[in-house]
Each structure stands twice: as C-alpha cells, then as structure tokens.
Amino acid sequence: MERLRSLLRPVTSVPLARHLIVALVALLVVMAVIGMSSQYLQTRYAEMAYFAIAAGGLTLLTGLSGQLSLGHGALMAVGAYAATLVLERTGGESLADVFVALLVAIGVCAVVGVVVGVPAARLHGPYIAGATLTLAVAVPRLANQWDVLGGEQGLQVPVPRASELPAWIQDLIWFFTAVEIDQYSFLAYLGWLLLALTFVALANLSRSRVGRRWRAVRDDDVSAELAGIHLGRARVVAFTVSAMCAGLAGGLMAMNVRLTAPGAFTITLSLTLLAAVVLGGLGSLTGALIGAGVLAFLPHFATDLGESFGLSATQAAEVTPVVYGLVLMLVILLAPAGIVGSLRPFLARLSATSALGSTKEKTT
C-alpha cells in the first residue's frame, strides 16, 4: 500500500489530476449503479444530478464568496426556458441539439449573472438576499405573462430518444453496464457526466487564485481590499459562475421533467436549494452532493412513509415539507456545520491515527 501511494503521489499532488481521477472513478461507479437500477431510481438519480449542479454553484457563491442568494430558483428558470426554446427550434432530435441547448442556457445565465451581480456586488449581508429574493419572485411571474414562454401552462420539452443517439454512445454504455440505454438512463448518464465535469471545474476554481480571493473577500473584505483585491470584480465573477451552474441545472431539469412551467420555479425551489447546501455543509462540494441527494430522495421517501401509515396520496404529499423541515432542524441542532463539516474532525483524527501508525511501523 505504501509503495502504491509513493507511485501515485506525483500525480495526486496536482489538484487537477487528483480531481479528474476522483471524478472518473466516481462516474464509472455511478454508471454501473444507474445501469442496474429501475426507471424510478434512474429518474431520481437524474434529479439528484441537476440539483447537485445548482447546489454546487450556490455553495461556491455562499460558502466561498460569502454572498447569500435566495434567487437560484429563478436562475434555473432562465436556464430551463433558454434550453427549451432552443430545443423547440432545433427539434431536439440529436445529442448535438441537447448540448447546444445547454450551452445556450449557460450563456444566457452568465449574462443574467453579470447583470444581477454588478448591482448585487455593492450590497452586503441580508441586502443581497433581499435583492435575489426579488428576482426569485419576479421571474416566474414574468414567464406567466409572455405567450412565447407558454404562459402558465408552460412549454413541452423535446428530448432525443435513446434509439436516436449515436451508435458509439450506445456501445459505450453497453460496454460499461451491459444494459441497453433507454430514455431514463440516458438523462441520468447525461446529468452525472455534466455533474462530474462541473464539480471538477468548481473544485479547481476553488483551489486557484480566484478561489483564494473569494475566501479573502468572505473573511474580511477590508483586509482583502487593502491587499489589492478588487471586491466588486471578485463578487461579480462568483455570482456569474454560480449563475452558469444554475443555468445548466435548469436546462437538465427541463429535459427531465419534459415541461418548463413557472410553477416549477417558485421561491420554494430557491429556499430548498439553500437548505440543501446548509444541510450538506456550507462551502463543501461533497456537502452539496449530499444535500442534493436528500433533496431528491427524501420527499419521495416521506410520501411513501405517509402512505404506509394509511394517509392518502394528497395527505402524504403534504407531510413531505414537515419531514424535510424536521430533518433540517435535527441537522442544524446536532451538526451545526452540516453533515460534511461535522465529519471533518473525525476524519482528521482518523487520518492522524493512520499516519502515526505507519510512522511507528517504519521506526520498528
């Protein structure tokens, strides 16, 4: 084991290489799990993927740069509508149409991020939350008024069928999973592939000079400004990157739900995204992934639990927010730093114990 570590140390010492290796291994494991899962679970995995992308961007914004946003649901709406309009225009019959739609969603949200981020960079604390809250309330109402966006009924989202995908993709999925790809697994694979790429980019960005500037602005903006950091520029860049993640998540959400309507992007979505980030651990991409898993699976678990106690489907659905709130309260009370933040001291002690044991073995 020690020999293997010494051989891998030159590679793993480079952050980009380490992140790529972890992402590749995790992606292969997830592909195998998705291939063996039912269509119901594949839908949940796809839902977890786009929630994790949005939560990862929000973690970067709130955890690293210290800007509290309550408008990420609105940014997801912008990305969803942008991707839907492109898919309607192109027909959405090929994989190229999908990627073009997602790139347009990211680009449009980047522009919106700059437009909103410039005035928001001058605000602090709850004022930023108030400004982004206005965005979360306004965007769904604007979508209701514009006929080109389908009004209250929304727009149908065309997605390519699995049989229309390139043969090499179908062969590649069969090689790794020994299962033929279908509509549900395709969206799950696509979501997790983009999630892996997004998290690698965010992890490297947080370790770069830009990430260090964000931390400096978050910890003490006066000292950061004295050190030569342009506060407004750093905040706008953080808001723009986070908005791009929200746009990508919104585009994936539109393709999974197959319908883009204002009712899916209410203030509740923004609040649940923030709750997921806090629950998993603020400032941690792993925490964002855990929070997204809770966000994707807990409501369905709570609904099934309510029905098992004899409640109707409507009554069980009303119990879901209560269960989610109780879980969030318990995490805040028992693990104030979030799930990942509470596990870090334990993992640090475990690593120290392991290092001490290996040192004793060498001396003996």
Most confident of 13-17, 282-286, 337-341: 282-286
Question: What is the residue type of 117?
Answer: G
The CA distance from 110 to 237, in Å, is 10
**114 — pLDDT class (breaks 50, 70, 90):** very high
pLDDT at 4: 45
Average pLDDT over residues 299-325: 76
Among the residue ranges 57-66, 294-303, 330-339, the one predicted with the least confidence is 330-339
Using CA of residue 214, residue 217, residue 220, residue 222, what is the dihedral sign?
positive
pLDDT at 353: 62
The CA distance from 28 to 33, in Å, is 9
Question: What is the residue type of 237?
Answer: V
Give 67-82 pLDDT, tens digit per residue. 888 888 999 999 999 9
Host H or E run for residue 259: strand 259-260
260 by DSSP, 3-state: which?
Answer: strand
In 29-176, DSSP assigns E strands to 155-156
- Give the burial class of 207: count Cβ atoms within 10 A of its Cβ; 0-12 exposed, 13-18 middle, 19 or more buried: middle
Q: At what angle do helices 39-59 and 285-308 cross, to 10 degrees?
A: 140
Most confident of 14-23, 200-209, 315-324: 200-209
Cα radius of gyration rounded to whole Å, the chain: 22
The CA distance from 290 to 52, in Å, is 8
Give 182-192 pLDDT, tens digit per residue. 888 889 999 99
Residue with the larger pLDDT of the pair 17 and 71: 71
Give 29-52 pLDDT, tens digit per residue. 898 899 888 888 999 999 999 999
The CA distance from 249 to 122, in Å, is 27
Do residues 60 and 241 touch, judged by C-beta distance below 8 A? Answer: yes
The CA distance from 112 to 279, in Å, is 27
Q: Report pTM.
A: 0.89
Q: Encoding tokens for residue 144?
A: 């209701």
**66 — pLDDT class (breaks 50, 70, 90):** confident
**110 — pLDDT class (breaks 50, 70, 90):** very high
Q: Which of 191, 158, 178, 203 lies closest to 56 in space, CA to CA?
A: 203
Computed over every residue of the chain, the mean pLDDT equals 83
**305 — pLDDT class (breaks 50, 70, 90):** confident
A 10 A CB-CB count for 40 gives 10
Tell me what percent of the residues of the chain surpass a pLDDT of 90. Answer: 26
- Give the burial class of 128: count Cβ atoms within 10 A of its Cβ; 0-12 exposed, 13-18 middle, 19 or more buried: buried
The CA distance from 128 to 295, in Å, is 24
Q: Encoding tokens for residue 262?
A: 């204002």
The CA distance from 60 to 81, in Å, is 24
The CA distance from 214 to 229, in Å, is 9
Give 141-156 pLDDT, tens digit per residue. 888 878 788 888 888 9
Q: Which residue has the tokens 């899916």?
A: 264
The CA distance from 223 to 180, in Å, is 56
pLDDT at 1 over 50: no
For residue 324, CA distances in Å to 275, 294, 327 come to: 10, 9, 5
